Amino acid sequence: MTEAEALDRLATGELVIRGRLADASNATLYAVAAGEWGEVACVYKPVSGERPLWDFPDDTLARREVSSYAVSAATGWDVVPPTVFRDGPLGPGSVQLWLAREPARDDDPEAGVDAAEEAAAAEDVEEVVLPEPGAGLIDICSVRRVPPGWLTVLTAEDGRGRPVALVHADDLRLRRMAVLDVVLNNADRKGGHVLPGWGGAVHGVDHGLTFHGEPKLRTVLWGFGGTRLLAQEREVLARLAQDLGDRLGEVLTDLLSVEEVVATLERVERLLAADRLPRARGGNPIPWPPF
C-alpha cells in the first residue's frame, strides 16, 4: 500500500471502532477504515474526546496531529504515519495509519493458532499486537550498562536508589525525528511515542501537543542537543522554509492559527541560523513519564 493509497483509504473508508487504548489521556480509539480494499487499521482521535489543557486551545489537538504529518511529509523523512482529518462515529477527528508489528521472518502463515488465539477467537475478541515502544533505540538502564555508542540524556535513581540513565541510540532515524520535533515544537516526545515500522523504519506518533507559539520542546532525544546540523538536514530545512511560505503554509493555515504557522517558519529559520540542534534548558525539558 502506497502513502497515497493509505491517505485515500483513511479519508474515504467507513470508520468502524474496534477498541480503545485505555492508557491514553485523550480518547484514542483503535479502528478500521473499511472499503472495497478490505480493512485498514488506524487510530481515531475524535475532537470530542480531547481533555481541556491550560496551555493549548480547546478542540485543536487532532488538527495538530494532521499538521505534524503534513510537515513530516514535506521533509520526506517518513517520521509521522499517514494522517487525515475527517468525520467519524464520534464526530470529526484525526485518523492515523496503525503501525502494525512487522511479521518475523520465521513466522509460518500456515501454522495453526495456539491455545490463547483459540480462546480469543472463541470469545470473539480481536488480538492487537502492539509494536515495541522506543523501537529498541531508547531505554532506561543502569549507568554501568549504557550500550556502546549510545547517548545519555540524564541520570537519576530508580525506586530502589540505584543509579540509572535515560539513553538513546546515536541513530540517523532518531536524529531526523529530533530535528522534526524542534520544527514542530513537540511538547511530548516520550520514548513510547517512538515506534518501529517495517523494513527498518522508525516512526513517531502522538503529536497533539505541537505547534505552540511559545517554546514547549520536551523530548527524550536531547542526546543530539548541541550537535551541528548535517548537510542533508540543512537542505531539508531550507526547502521546508520555502514550502512554509507557499503551499505547506496554506495547508497548515487551514488547521492551525496564522500565528502558529508563522512561529513554525520562525523556528525553522532560527534552526538554520544556529546550524545546531538546541540544548536542553531549564524548566521541564523531558516529558514525564519518559515512557
pLDDT tens-digit profile of 16-38? 999 998 888 899 999 999 999 99
**What secondary structure does DSSP assign to 72-126, as a single string?**
HHHHT---SPPEEEE--TTSSEEEEE--PPPPPTT--TTSPP-HHHHHHHHTT--
**268 falls in which pLDDT band (50, 70, 90)?**
very high
131-160 mean pLDDT: 88
DSSP letter, residue 129: P
Question: Alpha-carbon distance 281 to 262, whole Å?
Answer: 23
Name the average pLDDT for the chain. Answer: 90
**109 falls in which pLDDT band (50, 70, 90)?**
very low
* The pLDDT value given to residue 115: 41
144 Cβ contact partners less than 8 Å away, ≥ 6 residues apart? none
Is residue 145 pLDDT above 70, yes or no?
yes
Is residue 198 pLDDT above 70, yes or no?
yes
CA distances, 189 to each of 43, 48, 116, 175, 254 (Å): 18, 23, 34, 13, 25
pLDDT tens-digit profile of 114-124? 544 444 444 45
* The pLDDT value given to residue 121: 42
Q: What pTM does this model have? A: 0.90
Is residue 219 pLDDT above 80, yes or no?
yes
Is residue 95 pLDDT above 80, yes or no?
yes
Q: What percent of the chain has pLDDT over 90?
A: 78
Provide the CA 117 distance to its chain's centre, in angstroms: 30
125-140 mean pLDDT: 73
Cβ atoms 180, 207 nearer than 8 A: no
